[in-house]
Chain A
Amino acid sequence: MRTFVRAILLLAVFFADAGTAPAAASTAVGARLDQLPQSWRDDSGRPLELATLTGRRVILTMAYANCHKFCPMTMASLRGMQRALDARGEAAEIVVVGYDPQNDKPDVWRQYRKTHHLGRDNWHFLSGSVADTERLARSLGFDFWVYDEHVMHGSRVVIFDAAGAVQRELAADNGHWDAAL
């Protein structure tokens, strides 16, 4: 009987190995919050390290302050996710990283939050260097490119569990993640 059990274990592990073959590079599989670039500033200008947000779920996306096309839909979806979390009595950190480091400075994000009424303490709008922004985007599968003052980007959100590991990633071709949670 032990041989029976051992054989099942071995075969299950073998196929589990095959099932977890490296995913396509456009996903966040394998990423951890503490392995991402850490040197960010929030909209009040204070340094913020992503690793300090562990202990709660983290919902992370990217946007840019001058975006009037799809980022407004992204913010609306994040608001919807916040309402769902509130209804469950669950706390989470919502992080928005700026695509455009040249323009998405802390004071710009501060004004953005004011204009868009996104003032909750658990929301963080981050500014970083060009290199860190690109590294974070690559690590988490956020494809983007800059066309003069416009940023061409997709629409996705990555959810980290309380331990800082990727729990789920969502992409929407219209910016809506209504059923995300």
Chain B
Amino acid sequence: MVKHVRNTALALALGAALGVMSAPALAGASDSDRLNELQQKLDQSLKMIEALSNRVHELEAHQPAATASAAAPAPAPAPAPAEAQRLDTVEQKVAQIETANASRRGDDTGLPIHGFADVGGGTHNPYNPGLKGANIGELDFYLTPTIGGNVRSLFELNFEVSPGGTVGVDLERAQIGYQFSDQATVWLGRFHTPYGYVNTALHHGLWVAEALRRPKFLQFEDHGGAMPAHTVGAWLTGALRNGDGKLLYDVYAGNGQQIQGGLIDMRNAGNLHGSMMGGGRLGYQFTGGALEGLTLGVHAFTDRIDDDQMPANITRLKVYGGYVVYDTDSWENIVEFYAFNNEDLTGNTGSHRSNAGFGQFAYRAGWGVPYVRYEKAHFDQTDQFFAQQTNVNSGNSYYRSAAGVRFDVNLKSAIKFEFANTHQTDGLVGQYNEVLAQYAIRF
């Protein structure tokens, strides 16, 4: 009896030791590491049990009388199948729980929140050369509520710092649409105006872009851009597959913009005169063959833009242009060109021609992405459309040379550096050099 109690106590101690050995595995390590560790421990435990069981048989073989007299009602192997069955049942339950957990994640009725953020610093603010030092970039929330069927929705809510340093909130994109097919989706709301390549390929999340910032004239309106980057209206877009490529198209119309406080305003709530802007873009993307990765396109739009002067200046914008993009595993090369033939509708100054363009070449090396860019804008300053864009010198002519590099810290964060030399050729004529850094993430 004493021996029986002693043996039971030893067994309990050994089992408790197994449990303690298991505890650290439950505590900190990653799930798969933890499971591997537990599996190994279980294997060791089972081997130990087998060894002890063999020892029991050995001892019983040496004590035949005692073995016979102590024969238990159940046969010796009986505990093992019962325990094995229990283990099977437990494993099945775990599998069911895990499958149920996995299917609950990403429940269609939830609203996953994703987005981007960036901070930076340097000899200048990347959007306002008058400021120096560290800067907060943006906190950009990207929401795509699942509505069901072919209904699509997209909202991009952006907390950003203006060139003047104030923090504001902007509903950068607010689109509700319907996808008829792969070939046609119609969107209503506020969207990025479909011209060129950058304005619809690279949005507010700077992590997505290889370069630290957009070309100056293509910046968003409140960051010193000279173009109506946003439109509030309707947009039909799609792609038609054709052989080794696909035809890309966009047609859109929306509220005519206005220049307020020196910045283009996209008139989120409508405009006073009811005039509209409208345009289109046509492109061809090679998806196979020797030209795989090449996209060529043309675009044009017209707009009726007034400003907040008394009396207001009204300009009919007529913008044409084209783009070439070569996007592969090794290169992201982008060239865009814009020609303006604007008409003064109030000042009797006639037509004004201007132009702008840039070329960027980025090489996707394994260690990082170095890039170079040259951009130039020649804006006729007698054209009120450019003359009234006085905030952060949006409407002034300039040319800029830049070189930069992007390093991916991991799959969700990147550090970028850019060195640039900018010459202002209108307004505050002069040049300045910039050394910029940016830390951008996605979540």
Report yes or no: B56 in contact with A2, Cβ–Cβ below 8 A. yes
Shortest CB-to-CB span from A55 to chain B, Å, is 21
A23 to B332, CA, bound (A): 41
Report yes or no: B35 in contact with A20, Cβ–Cβ below 8 A. yes
> Is A181 interfacial (CB 8 A cutoff)?
no
Task: Determine which of A17, A29, A111, A114 lies in contact with B31 in the assembled complex, contact meaning CB atoms within 8 Å.
Answer: A29
Cβ–Cβ < 8 Å partners of B102 in chain A: 25, 30-31, 138-139, 141
A26 to B31, CA, bound (A): 9
A31 to B286, CA, bound (A): 39
Q: B287: nearest residue on chain A (CB-CB)?
A: A111
A69 to B144, CA, bound (A): 23
> Is B28 interfacial (CB 8 A cutoff)?
no
Q: Which of B16-63 contact A (CB under 8 A)?
A: 16, 18-19, 22, 25-26, 31-32, 34-36, 38, 41-42, 45-46, 48-49, 52-53, 55-56, 59-60
Cβ–Cβ < 8 Å partners of B408 in chain A: 69, 174
Segment at the B interface, from A4-12, A78-86, A118-126: A4-12
Segment at the B interface, from A45-53, A87-95, A144-152: A144-152
Known: A4-B11, A138-B106, A145-B114. Is A19-B25 also a contact (CB below 8 A)? Answer: yes
Shortest CB-to-CB span from B166 to chain A, Å, is 27
Cβ–Cβ < 8 Å partners of B32 in chain A: 27, 29, 168-170
A22 to B46, CA, bound (A): 22
Q: Which of A17-76 contact B (CB under 8 A)?
A: 17-27, 29-32, 35, 68-70, 72-73
Q: How many A-B residue pairs have CB under 8 A?
A: 190
Cβ–Cβ < 8 Å partners of B171 in chain A: none
Q: Select the residue from B41, B59, B105 with max chain A CB neighbours within 10 A.
A: B105
> Is B182 interfacial (CB 8 A cutoff)?
yes
Report yes or no: B288 in contact with A102, Cβ–Cβ below 8 A. no
> Is B7 interfacial (CB 8 A cutoff)?
yes
Report yes or no: A12 in contact with B46, Cβ–Cβ below 8 A. yes
> Is B167 interfacial (CB 8 A cutoff)?
no
Known: A27-B31, A111-B292. Is A13-B59 also a contact (CB below 8 A)? Answer: no
Known: A12-B49, A29-B31. Is A147-B205 also a contact (CB below 8 A)? Answer: yes
Report yes or no: B98 in contact with A30, Cβ–Cβ below 8 A. yes
Known: A2-B56, A20-B35, A146-B144. Is A15-B103 also a contact (CB below 8 A)? Answer: no
Report yes or no: A19 in contact with B56, Cβ–Cβ below 8 A. no
Shortest CB-to-CB span from B42 to chain A, Å, is 5
Task: Determine which of B18, B72, B144, B182 lies in contact with A2 in the assembled complex, contact meaning CB atoms within 8 Å.
Answer: B72
Report yes or no: B12 in contact with A7, Cβ–Cβ below 8 A. yes
A148 to B241, CA, bound (A): 19
Shortest CB-to-CB span from B80 to chain A, Å, is 8
> Is B169 interfacial (CB 8 A cutoff)?
no
Known: A5-B56, A7-B15, A11-B15. Is A149-B411 also a contact (CB below 8 A)? Answer: no
Task: Determine which of A11, A22, A72, A137 lies in contact with B98 in the assembled complex, contact meaning CB atoms within 8 Å.
Answer: A22
Shortest CB-to-CB span from A16 to chain B, Å, is 5
Report yes or no: B411 in contact with A174, Cβ–Cβ below 8 A. yes
Interface, chain A (partner B; CB < 8 A): 1-27, 29-32, 35, 68-70, 72-73, 102, 107-108, 111, 114-116, 134-135, 137-139, 141, 145-150, 152-155, 168-170, 173-175
7 smallest CB-CB distances across A and B, nearest first, come from A11-B15, A30-B98, A7-B11, A19-B38, A30-B95, A15-B19, A173-B410
Interface, chain B (partner A; CB < 8 A): 4, 7-8, 10-12, 14-16, 18-19, 22, 25-26, 31-32, 34-36, 38, 41-42, 45-46, 48-49, 52-53, 55-56, 59-60, 72, 76, 79-80, 83, 86-87, 90-91, 94-99, 101-106, 112, 114, 142, 144, 154, 182, 200-201, 203, 205, 208, 241, 244, 287-288, 292, 327-329, 332, 364, 366, 408, 410-412, 442
